[in-house]
Structure 1
Amino acid sequence: MSLALAIPLGVAASAVYGTSIVVQHRTAQQNADAGGETSPSSLLRLARNPLWLIAVVSDFAGFLLQAAALSAGSVVVVQPLVVLMLPVALGVSFLTGGHRPRLGDYLGVLAVLGGLGVFLALVGRPGEPHVPHSRTIAMAVGLVLVIGLVACVVVIGRNRIVRGAVYGGVAGAYFGALAVMVDAASDEVGQHGFKSLVTHARGYVPVICLAVLGVAGILLTTMSFQIGALGATLPANLAADPVMGVVLGAVLLREHIPLSAGHLVAYVLCLAAVVAGAVRLADPHAGPIGPDGPAVAPSG
């Protein structure tokens, strides 16, 4: 395990994600139905949009960087770095014609960086992961998928803010679980080689799970972007992602994190700081990522 390698790779992955998210949000809003709603036809229009496709390819590049980071470090350290995509998105949006950052935006950046930095300092070095039995992995991922699906079904017909928050939160939970699958698969490769990914259940089960989680996460993220309400979607996404990664990393992979009462309080405060910063940076009126008003359906 090398944190000196894992952290720079994780930061690089977040930079790629932060750049991609600006493009994805803008193209998703442009291809949404009237009133900013999402539908199968709007998703098909989006799938034919070259900019959106480029952003998806960029996401895959970010995933490769993140996978490399997870192979070098633990998920409870690497996955929280995903929150760095918001400060990156702030800068990318400004450079591509968005509003100039305001004082509140800089304070939001400080809240995200402060919450992340304190959390990483508290966690320290979690130790080497332990790959659980493939049946345990499959059951855990199945539970995450089912709970997320139920949550999405429950909010059908609710207002855009509620749906955006739930879709974003579920997508974040899926991505957090995906990171744990990457960590489990990379650890299996380290012990038994790449062939174990197709010959051993502890190899191919995490790969299958991460593929399902990835597709579901991308679909929900796209739907949440088309709905709009970015001020609810992104904070929910960026809160659920590292939380799910840390929880499953500690429970499934047995990565050690301090769990005293003082540490738990500090973790909650760190999460609150990150969420507060995310709410500010995702505020459509501040303009860091792009306008979040009703989308206009494309003509023709």
Structure 2
Amino acid sequence: MTGNPWVDDEDDDTWLNQKIPGPEQTDGEAAASPLPYLDPEVEAALAAEGPPEWLGTRWRTIEPGQQWDAWNWLRRWVDWFIREYRLTTSDVPACWYRHPDLTAELYAAMCMEYKVWEEGAPGLAPMMMWHPNVAQLRTRLKEMTHEAGCVQAGGHKEPVAYSGTVGAYELDYDEDDWITAASTIRTEKVIDRPTTGVRIIRARAVDTDGVEHGSSDPLGLRARSVAEVGSVLLAYTSATPGQAGVAVNITGGPEDLTVVWEESPDGTTWADLNTAEDEEALHQGADFSTDERQ
């Protein structure tokens, strides 16, 4: 560093050895490095080189003291945008600032155009983001301008309220119905079905004082039906000279069914096939396998 960039004499580096007044130094605390003095007016000028603080915030939330500046920034940008991309009044009417939708669209475009060039270095953002969106932007602007009807009327045209009771783009709410719908309470409860017969339930609306304000119609829950066993089928899954894999498929029946394996020498007399070794092999998937019930 050769000198203070904010003084004329760049060879004068005496400012480097000057200390700026600051908080008192505590015992054992390392001394802070002295910083160069920056004139308040110079600091303000440097800060002014960046974007205005409102740029990039929602248009509707810009502070009142900044709105005049924001409107003028936007107008200058819109004038540039029209000249640069050769837009006509069918794209942007002269009264665009009277239409909130056009203003919001143009303000968003201004923020985007600033963003893609903000880094000040070659990049793909202008080509990949800005210009493709310009084409979409023009389409949206044309639709908004056509719906506004100002160009066709030869001057600014205020939107028409066809309902006759509220302004354009305002809904004529049924306030009582809105309050009823907006204050809706929805909750759920899982209830077990009875094992036999019918279980009748209802729900009541009760306030904090226990006063009932309404009740539902009764709802009946019948006992859970159990499907009969449709079939029990065996099938080979694998076969080797020493072992064979067999799978059973059971359709229907209660949930607590278990599989009992049996064997017979002649198909008439049956004995339990499940031994301890068989059970271990079953869990390991070696000798026998049981498909999941369908």
Larger of the two Rg values belongs to structure:
2
TM-score by length of 1: 0.22
Could you say which structure has the higher strand fraction?
2
State the structure with bigger RCO (CA 8 A, min sep 6), 1 or 2: 1
Could you say which structure has the higher helix fraction?
1
TM-score by length of 2: 0.22
